[in-house]
Structure formats: C-alpha cells, structure tokens
Structure 1
C-alpha cells in the first residue's frame, strides 16, 4: 500500500486506541502470566510491548537531524529464546553521514517470591564491531537470563539521513502483542509512505503538533502520526527466499519534496531522466564507463585470436576476471578511478564491472551498465526513481540479436551467467547515449546435474564401479567453488572421501575445472559393501545413497511469500549394478511418478531387474525459478512423497 503523507494529513483520522508509550521499568504481574500457548505454541519468546518515535530537530550547526528512540519489552519462555537477549543495532558510518547510538538501557526481570527482581546490564557489556566499511554494529547481551525472564531495553539513534526517514518493522521472527511507531514530521516535508506486508494496521492516529520546531526563524507545525499493529504473527524465514524485508509487515518513508522559505518546492522524487543524467555525469559512474582509452593499447592483444564479436567479448571478460580481484564490497559507484584499479588490480563491484564495460567498449562492442538490488537487499520500488535502492552494477553486452549479462567479480562464473545474488526481479540498464530502461534479471542457465553409477556386485558383498557426474550452470559453478577451496584436486577428493562414510573412492578424474563453458565432469572409481557374507542369499540395498533427500526444505504450515529458487533445477540419477548370479527382486521402493501443477516440475522413480542387471533411475525437475505462495502446499507434499518413498530398501534374494 502506497500513499503520500499529504493524503494522511487531509484525512486526519481519529482513533480510539491510546498511545502505547510505556515507562521503563514498569513490569506488571500480567506480563508474568503471559502464556505462549495463547499466542503461538511454537514461540520461544514474545514481544509484549514495542514503541518507537522519530522526530526531526536542528543541531548546533543548523543542520536537520533525525532522532529515533526505541523501547521494547519481551518475555523469554525458554532457553531457546535466550538468543533474543543478544541485541545488535546497526549504524551507518559513511563519509559526511554518520549515525550514532546512545542512551542504551537494558534490564532483566525475574519473578521470585511474588516480586520482580531487576538485574541491570553493566554499561561495560556494550561493545561495537565494524561489520563493513559503512556499517558499525553496537552489541550487548542482557544478563541473568532464566526461563520466564522478562527483558527490556531502549536506545536512541541519531541520524543525518532524513531522505529515507527511519522505517519500522512490525513483524520479526517472534510474535508481538503490540507494536507502535510514532513519527513527527514538519509540515514543510512531504513523504511517500509505503506499507508493505500481509497484515494491516490495527489503527492509525494523526494529530497536529503546533510549533514543533523553528526553521530559519519561522515556526513550523508538525504532523504526529502513530502507526499501530497488534497481535502480529511471527515472520518465519525459510529457504529459497529473497530479502525478508520484501515480505515483512513494515512501514517505509521516502522524501518526496520540501518547501523552501520563499514558498517554492524542492522535489526529491526524481524521474528516470533525472537519474540518468546524474549517473552518466557522475565521475564515479558514467565518467568511468567512458574510460575505454585505458584499454585501447592492450585490447588488440587480448582479442587477437577472436574472429567474432562473441569471441572478443569472451576474451575480454576472461581477461578482466584474471587481472582484477574483487574486494567483496558492493556499490554502483567506483571507489577510485579505473586507472588506479588497473594498477592495484583490486576493487569493488563497480570498479570491476565498469572496467569490464570500458574494455568491451574499447573493442567497439556495444556495452551497457545494469544497476540492480541484490537478493539480500530487497526489491526495488519501481514507482519512484531512487538511486540508493541499488547496491550493485553488472555489465551488459549486446551482440547481434543477443544480450549477455556479465559480472567479473566471480572468476569461476562462465560467460553470460550472473551470480544468484543478482537474480532479483529487474535491473535498470544505463546507456551513455540512450534513455535507461528495465530488464528482467533471470538465470540464463538452470542448475543441472546427472549421476551415472555403473557397478558390479562381487561375491565378497562389495560393489565396485564408477560414478560419473556431469554438472552445468549453477551446479557446476558451486562445485568449482568447492573444488577451488582446496590446494589440489587430490586434497578435495580426500575430503570428499572422508564425508562418504560408507563409500570409498579408489581413483578420481575431474575434467574442465577451469574450462568454464564446458561441462564439469567428475569420474570416481568407488567401492562399498552391501553385505558381509553372513547371509549372501538375501541382499538389502538402499538405492538412494546419491543425493538422498532426508529433510523437507518446506516445513511451514503456511507460507505467505514466494518460493524463489533463483533458477530451475534438473537432477538425474541412473544406477546400473550387475549382479554375480540370478537374483529375484522381492521388495523395492514404489515406482513413482508425481507432477507439480501448472508444469511446475516432476519426480519419476523406476526400479527394474533384467538379465542380472539392477537399474534404478530417478528424475527430479523443478521447472520454475519462482513458485507463488499458493503453490507452497504442492511443493511441500511433493517433497514429502519423495522422502517417504526413499525410506524403502531393495530386497534381493538369490534365485534357486
């Protein structure tokens, strides 16, 4: 739900719900009586009350700052809930834009002999951690925790960032009884307000706060708005999702415009035409895209053996990945200039990928930039043109009728495949000569792996044979990453052998580890026992020893957000075992063929015994990269059936 603050002010909603502000240290007997079975029987903790306020004020140097105050009271039900007493508060620490945490108070209350005993946190327990170049974390843990403890803490955050007014998450990973956020916004500022998530506000209050501040000698009124939500279910994160912020119930603010002292308005919500101009003229973005002169002397040597434009692009892509190393920092702007990047051979995402664009342009290839928001950051709000919502940039090269998206940060990525972190809805293409436009960010390849086991059962009860694995797409990329963690192929295989407790690797051959455009092939000569000769007439064998699914990745009773795999998946397993003599197949897992609705995928299992050769074939396909929330029950049941069937062993009996 999206609406301008001005609309709220016009409606001036009345409310029967009173402010949920509460005094620190006032613990009630009713707090002690809270029973999780009446709220959420699976919860290990619950927020009893949560209250926050934000207001603007003029600091001593005449600049407008934002003061955010937070106060919360929780009940811890058991030891599994103790983690909610480990508090982490992030603060941004950028150039000319520093946030500060202060006024921290924290207490634990335990009910004993009819009274609450308070244990106050020692200030020495507070420490800071520099998480990244721009983020500092303030951390503390509340003391004297027990089953049934009530904890309370509060703090203040001072920020110069008034463009993105402090947001508020109504949902967290534990349920909340009451959550309220009150904002005081001067009338000269107009914000777009976005309510996100599945749950609606319980109530909302709007009041006028007369003469709340003075700007350039003028008295300014404020709008005091309270957003209230009660009985809020926990938001449970599960595998295969993008940023939780895309789906949690929360309220966000974005500055639209402000009124100057002369009565005119300054607009902050920009059009894409404005953003295009800003990016193209920025020294750290458009200025670096234009630096093809840096590569004009070395490009001829890079592409000398490349007869086509596609071959040239691949050669340049390989060169940049080899020459430049990513420093693990994101950003759409370079940290320096590309000449320094070339000299130092390292840089952030923008340094590497704008270098790639400049190099492609130097070869007279049509190269563009694509700015995007990564999966963990969240979806971009496409109603408004806000540069700060983007945290990543990749290259796009157009060859004939085809376009390829490239990211030089990952040396093991093949040409045209983006890291999964970039597969997040849409990105904005920035062209130095044309207006920008949206592009879908989809995986260009699916994850594909096939396993073929050809083995022979000996009279000693051992199966000897070869497992051959072929990997493509993201499966191959992740496997190459795993292999490269080790000093050698032999070391990798040694660790792999240790993990396979029932199977021994005798010999290995791994092909195309560095040939990224080819199929990654692994061949292992293996040996494992299926019986110890004590009863060779009967043979039990579980055929699901390759990538067995032991746990359902989908366990929620209901999921309110999409299942985002990032890419479609295809896995095939074929097992052929030659038996030493005639056997009968007495028991086997049920031959199975199940399909997801709307062409979403399928699973097929078949077991046969013909001419002393036991054959087990499996096919598991997830044909879509994204499944909607309403498809969740089908996916859950799909995996349940597979897991249940894989619990059954084969029973072979020697024929008489």
Structure 2
C-alpha cells in the first residue's frame, strides 16, 4: 500500500484560489456530447465533475465541534449497465447516546436530451428513505428518476458529523472514471491533522491558502488553512479476486487528528502512544475487564479438563467448549457487547464476547493467553506508524504454549485449532497483554489451502467410466467444504446437491470422514459413474481428466494491477487419475505435458499424461507458494492461469482398434 504523508503547514498562497463548487444544473454541449472513449472505452458511466468541502464548525446548540461536509457530483450515464450509478446510498455513522451523522439538503435531478430539447426530472423528496444497517450504521437511500441511455444525473447533500478525530476523507477513485475531482478542506489553526495521500495516482494540483476568521469559538475568531486537492482524468478502480479491502488501494486523501490547541494556548495530544492505548484497553470494562473474568470459568474447569494431559490439550478443550457454547450473533468488534458472564448464560455474543471469554477461560486454566486486535480484510489495513484504535474491528486470542504461539477465533466454530478465518489474515495485528506492553504480530495462515484428488477407474465395454474418487482436504479447503455440509443440514443433502451440479456424472456409494474431527483432513469417498458413450455407435471416446478441479475462468484480467495479489494463504492442489481401458482401445490424443514455474519460486503448474499396458496415468499439480504476490508478479500469474485454462480445454481421446 502506498501512502504519501503531507504536511498542512504549507507556505500560504498570496493569491486566492478559484476552487469552488460548480453550478447545479448548468450543463454544456460538451457534457451532452461526452463519449466513453475519453478515458476508458469500457466505461458504462463517467463522473464529469465532483466537488466536496469539509470544515470544522461549532455547534452552539449541542455545545460541541462538528465536521460540516458538502458533496456534489455530476455523472454521465452511457448505457443501461451504468444505471446502477443512479442508486445512491449514503452511510451515516451511529455513535451512541443518540449521536449520529445528520444528513440534510439532499437534492437531485436527471437531465435527458430528447428530440432536441432538455427534459429535467427532479428527485422526489418522498422517495428518499432511511435504512438501519446495524447498530453502528444507517443508510440514506434514493434512486435518481427517469434514467435512460445518455442521462446526466446530478445530486448533492450535506452531512453534519459530531466527531472531529477522523476529518472527512475523500476518495478520488471509484468504480467509474472521473474527469475532475476536487476537494477543499478548511482546517482551523488550532487543529493539527496527519494528512496522507493513498494509492498509485498523483494529484494534479494542491493549493494552500489562509482563510481569515473561518471559525468562532467562545467569541474568539480562528484562522484556517484552506487546502485544495485536485485530480483529473482518473481511471476507474477495478476490483479483482484475491485482494483485501479496496479502500486500501484507491487513490484518496485521509485525515487523522494528531493534536489541537485550546484557546488558552495549551496543547492536547489526540494521537496517543501505544502505552496510552494499552492502559485504556486493559482498564476498559468491555475489554481488559472481560479478559480478567477467570472466576466465571473456575467451576467448569475440573469437568472440562478431566481428559487433558498437557497445556495444548487443555487449550484445545477450552477452545472447543467456547466455540460450541457461545454462538456468534453476527456482529464483530474488539469490545464485548454483553459481558462474558451473560454471553455464557445466553450462549450468544459478538466476536468480542466470544474471544475475550476464550482468553478468560484459558487464563483460568493457567494458560498464557493474550488478546490480539486486528482489522479484517474487508475493513482495511491498520496504520502502524501511530495508534488509531478505530482501525481495528476484530479481536482473537493468542495462546503461548512452550515456544509456540497459536491464534484462535472461537466465533468460527468449524476452524481447526490454530487456524484463523481467512478474513482475519490481513497484515499484522496488535497483541494486548494485561501486564506487558503491546506489540505487533504478523497475521499468517498456519496451514495451506490444500486438496488432493485420487481417481482410480475403469472404462467398461458399455462406454461407462466407473471408479472411486478419493479427496483429502485440509486448511481453508476443508473449512469451505465443512461449511457446505453444515449449510446443507446433512451429509446426505450435501452429496445430493453435489450430484445435481454434475449432470454427466452420477454418485453411487459415498462416505465422508472427519466432518467433526476438525484437526484431521476431511476425507471424501465417492463411487462415481461417468457416461462416456453409447458402446454400439461411438467412433471415439472423449474423457476430460480436468473434470476435477477445473479452472474455467482466469481470475486475472487486467492489463496492469497496481495493488497486491493477496491469496491469504499458500495453496496446493494435486490430482492423480488412473484409468484402465479395454484391450481393443487405443489412445489417439492426449493433453500436452506442461511444466510452468513462476519466478522466484513463486509456484508452479505440472501436468503429465502417459499410456502403458492399457492404463492411462494422469497427474496434475498447482502450487502457489506465496500468500501475497507483488503487483510486478501479476502478469506472470495471469499468464500461468491463461495457459492452464487453454490446456484444460483438451481431452484424452480413445477409439477402438480396427
């Protein structure tokens, strides 16, 4: 991730900037004639102009400082695929104590050029509605009216934000290209923000001016820095598979309050040290206090640990108990919502309730357990230069036994001991100890995403391929399959759905082992029959050895990728097929052998086919040896998958000998 840190203490321009909001509804012929070829010929819509301002103001009624934010945008829609740009959803944070972002002054208009005249349709205020997303966020939604190919939509709104720590950030990049994006931030001289430019793109222009008397506090006038940031001809940010949160990589300006001065001249630090954060978390009744609730588990320990022999088996028993007895309520967070004791009684809680309970239970068994706070992959990466507690949205347990550490998340009960869910594998987390200073810890998957397939079969004279398919899965591959079995409610229904997905293959007898033995590989055994041909009329038999673990679509389709390829874990997939054919059949075609290696031991793909003594032997291996690949390695990965897909379009072909 690329960050450029900017200072607000520029030399102020002596000439006033012309940066200002553009006039609502004032279109030009250039807007009407605009084509999608201007930046990206594949664009379904484009931002013609986008403008925003944010300033700190004093709310005299509520007696607090606010961030006042204005947003205004004009978008040209080229085709029906661009209509979704007219579905607007504005997020509002809920802070507790009835405090939330307040949205107002919403207005919008859709303009169409029909038969040589402009036709404008205003947004109906009655069709603006509010939706409660969860206890922390609300959404204000509306849909722009009368959309058609070539429409120009325009809307604006204001938000009052009752929190000044995170000044309103600005994203220059979105899912459609932009011709012009401009943001003005008014920062009072009393406030010092850390400002960072994130992403691969550069600003076209940055201006700093002095705005006199922009704010009054307790009758005292305060000057401001008026910062203008402009970016032009911005390509769309295209999301692909194998990436963490898009917010990590989109070009944007971020603001975080570092310190401020009071009117009497004293300085107050907002950006704390980790020592400050440690003290706050350890003393917090919803965090550190819950880690100390060992007494809630003391009566459980004799029964829970009666069959254990060492600290590892004790930790495993406790982990399984918490995972089984406290189910996730769907909410995540680093803090406990209901407290450990209540979570045990109700058998429900958020991630904080569950994993802080786990830490307390482990401590009750005299096992060294710490809390590790992290940011999930979809939430964004944490800032490791200075503490920002809002960067973290998840907590897990770190258990230290001997010279080895295990990361545990009991809110995902199908995980084997020591494996975090993939959404937690995101850079690094911060370990919080009740007695020692906190420290950073790398979040690395402890197991590969591993699958092995063995298929031993026979081609019958009736034209059917019959055999046993044996599959071993571990790590995230096993987790995915166990979730599938759980979602199907039973092994029987899981197999039925699997059978339905393969119309040319029928499943007979089956056996699935270790469904509940999470530390063991998941083993699947299937007797399968593949209908190959009508034995009386077929001149040749086509058999695809790639019917197992087939890759039909390349996950990498960009000409260039500016952000990492983040798989989360190393992966390995092996396939072995042994097919015996009747003596009167000969092999006429087979897939080419392929051996491709990625640079720097990044991975490889192997495929080989041989035919001897009426037995076809096929082997395939795909290894990706890195959990994360640099953008410079992207084209190598793209080419690897492209060649695999081309190979997997070929078949093994037999025919009867004359």
Q: TM-score, normalised by structure 2?
A: 0.98
Contact 1:108/1:152, CA 8 A, preserved across alignment: yes
Alignment of 1:82-97 (within 5 A): 82-96=83-97, 97=99
- Which of 450, 464, 478 in structure 2 is aligned with 1:448? 450
Which residue of structure 2 aligns with residue 348 of structure 1?
Answer: 350
Question: Separation in 2 of the partners of 1:197 and 1:282?
Answer: 35
TM-fit CA distance, 1:653 = 2.5
Which residue of structure 1 aligns with residue 600 of structure 2?
Answer: 598
TM-fit CA distance, 1:583 = 2.7
Question: Separation in 2 of the partners of 1:41 and 1:145?
Answer: 21
Question: Separation in 1 of the partners of 2:647 and 2:479?
Answer: 30
Unmatched runs of 5 consecutive residues or more in structure 1 = none
SS in 1 for 2:9: helix
Which residue of structure 1 aligns with residue 43 of structure 2?
Answer: 43
SS in 2 for 1:8: coil
Which residue of structure 1 aligns with residue 545 of structure 2?
Answer: 543
Which residue of structure 1 aligns with residue 67 of structure 2?
Answer: 66
Q: How big is each residue's C-alpha offset from its partner over 1:175-224, in whole Å with a ceiling of 9 and x where there is no partner?
A: 10000111112111110101100111110111111111211221111111
Q: Runs ≥4 in structure 1, deviation > 3 angstroms?
A: 1-4, 13-18, 534-537
Which residue of structure 2 aligns with residue 181 of structure 1?
Answer: 183
Question: Separation in 2 of the partners of 1:143 and 1:398?
Answer: 59
C-alpha distance 14-49 of structure 1, shift in aligned 2 (>3 A): farther
Question: Separation in 1 of the partners of 2:306 and 2:515?
Answer: 25
Which residue of structure 2 aligns with residue 297 of structure 1?
Answer: 299
Which residue of structure 2 aligns with residue 553 of structure 1?
Answer: 555
Question: Separation in 2 of the partners of 1:545 and 1:18?
Answer: 63
Question: Separation in 1 of the partners of 2:62 and 2:143?
Answer: 35
- Which of 628, 647, 655 in structure 2 is aligned with 1:653? 655
Question: Separation in 1 of the partners of 2:4 and 2:180?
Answer: 23
Alignment of 1:309-458 (within 5 A): 309-458=311-460
Contact 1:379/1:424, CA 8 A, preserved across alignment: yes
Alignment of 1:173-322 (within 5 A): 173-322=175-324
TM-fit CA distance, 1:328 = 1.4
Worse-superposed segment, 410-419 or 291-300: 291-300
C-alpha distance 579-440 of structure 1, shift in aligned 2 (>3 A): same
Q: TM-score, normalised by structure 1?
A: 0.98
Q: How big is each residue's C-alpha offset from its partner over 1:290-338, in whole Å with a ceiling of 9 and x where there is no partner?
A: 1111111111211111001100000000000111001111111111221
Question: Separation in 2 of the partners of 1:375 and 1:158?
Answer: 29
Unmatched runs of 5 consecutive residues or more in structure 2 = none
Root mean square deviation, CA, Å: 1.3
Question: Separation in 1 of the partners of 2:45 and 2:20?
Answer: 20
Contact 1:15/1:203, CA 8 A, preserved across alignment: no
Which residue of structure 1 aligns with residue 490 of structure 2?
Answer: 488
- Which of 505, 512, 516 in structure 2 is aligned with 1:503? 505
Question: Separation in 1 of the partners of 2:538 and 2:136?
Answer: 66
Question: Separation in 2 of the partners of 1:614 and 1:332?
Answer: 55
Contact 1:373/1:389, CA 8 A, preserved across alignment: yes
- Which of 548, 562, 565 in structure 1 is aligned with 2:564? 562
TM-fit CA distance, 1:547 = 1.8
| Residue 54 of structure 2 corresponds to residue 54 of structure 1 | yes
Which residue of structure 2 aligns with residue 34 of structure 1?
Answer: 34
Worse-superposed segment, 277-286 or 107-116: 107-116
Contact 2:204/2:232, CA 8 A, preserved across alignment: yes
SS in 2 for 1:566: coil
Contact 2:469/2:528, CA 8 A, preserved across alignment: yes
Which residue of structure 2 aligns with residue 8 of structure 1?
Answer: 8
| Residue 79 of structure 2 corresponds to residue 78 of structure 1 | yes
Alignment of 1:517-532 (within 5 A): 517-532=519-534
- Which of 589, 592, 595 in structure 1 is aligned with 2:591? 589
Q: How big is each residue's C-alpha offset from its partner over 1:449-485, in whole Å with a ceiling of 9 and x where there is no partner?
A: 0111111111110111111111000000110000011
